[in-house]
Amino acid sequence: MKHKRQPKRSYPVKSFLLSALLHIILIIALVWGSDFNQEKPKPVGSIVQAVVIDPQLVRQQAQEIKTRREAAAKKEQNRLDKLRRESVRLEQNRKNEEERIRKLKEQKAKDAKAAREAEKFRKKKEQQRIAEEKRAAKAEAARKLKEAAIAKAEKERLDREKAAKIAAEKAKKEQEAARKAEQERLAKEKAAKVAAEKARKEKARLKKLEAERKERERALNDIFSGLETESQQNSSARNHYVADQANRYGAIYTKLIQSRLLLEDSFKGKSCRINLHLIPAGKSAIVGSVKILKGSQPVCAATRRAVAQVNFFPLPNDPDVVKEIKDITLNVKL
């Protein structure tokens, strides 16, 4: 808001000077009028002349003098009244001018105050607008952060569900593979028990035959040779059993590893040959080291990761078989 131009401060000074001048003029006029109203004294001569005075003429002259004086006094009074009226008018004009100037100053002060109040109100509104914009921006940022957090939580939930589903499917496959492996183990153990029983019966029979032979051929030199041959045959059967058990457990280990492989289409028809060094720990063993011998590099890398996921490898009760499979070579085919 533009401020009105302030009136010049010379108005009160001019009014005062004008009033003082009028008073001076009035005083001079009064003094001047009184001087002219007085009759000039007539010179008195030393010559005395006898004059006949007419009373009627004297009265007439006196009346004329009185009339002239009254007319002059009235004229002077009218002039003084006019001067007083003019002085009053000028004084009133001065007061009116001062009042006008005072009102202008008051109006100017009011306008300035109103301008300050308007500016203060504008600044307050501007501050409120800025604060409102900041609150809106803060609320928008909080909303976006909340939406991002919700989206992140939803993604994490979906990822967890997906991972749980994959883990459940994997666990199901592992359980199925373990079940099949257990069935095969039991079947092989049963077959091994049958074979062991046959071997025991055969051994008993051979022992009996050996005893009979000893009874019949005690005196013959070839009895010892015959017994040595039979011992070698028994040793061969034992070696065959140990090798068979080692192959059986190698197949179990291979299936355990295959159940943990993340299969890809590019792996089909490929294989990886590895060597496992197992560390016995009770009825099972853990992997001490893995050595890649031959095969596709991606398949071998996946096989190494699958081996690390097998928590334990079952061990047989036969120490000879355990000794045979502690350092075993497997061929993982896909």
- For 294-311, write each residue's pLDDT tens digit: 988 888 999 999 999 988
pLDDT class of 29 with cuts at 50, 70, 90: low
- 6 or 212, which is more confident: 212
pLDDT class of 26 with cuts at 50, 70, 90: low
pLDDT class of 123 with cuts at 50, 70, 90: very high
- 209 or 180, which is more confident: 180
Determine the pLDDT at residue 34.
47
pLDDT class of 266 with cuts at 50, 70, 90: confident
pLDDT at residue 243 tops 80: yes
What are the tens digits of pLDDT across the range 309-332? 988 899 988 888 888 888 999 998
Lowest mean pLDDT among 108-122, 198-212, 229-243: 229-243
Catalogue the E-assigned strands of the chain: 271-281, 284-295, 313-314, 327-333
| Cα(294)–Cα(271) distance, integer angstroms | 8
* Tokens linked to 177: 């593979």
Task: Report how far apart the first and last C-alpha atoms of the chain are (Å, whole number).
Answer: 89
Determine the pLDDT at residue 97.
92
Determine the pLDDT at residue 40.
46
Mean pLDDT of the chain: 81
Please give the CATH number for the structural domain made up of 242-333: 3.30.1150.10
Determine the pLDDT at residue 202.
75
Residue 302: exposure state from Cβ atoms within 10 A (0-12, 13-18, ≥19): buried
- 113 or 231, which is more confident: 113
| Cα(108)–Cα(100) distance, integer angstroms | 12
| Cα(255)–Cα(288) distance, integer angstroms | 19
pLDDT at residue 72 tops 90: yes
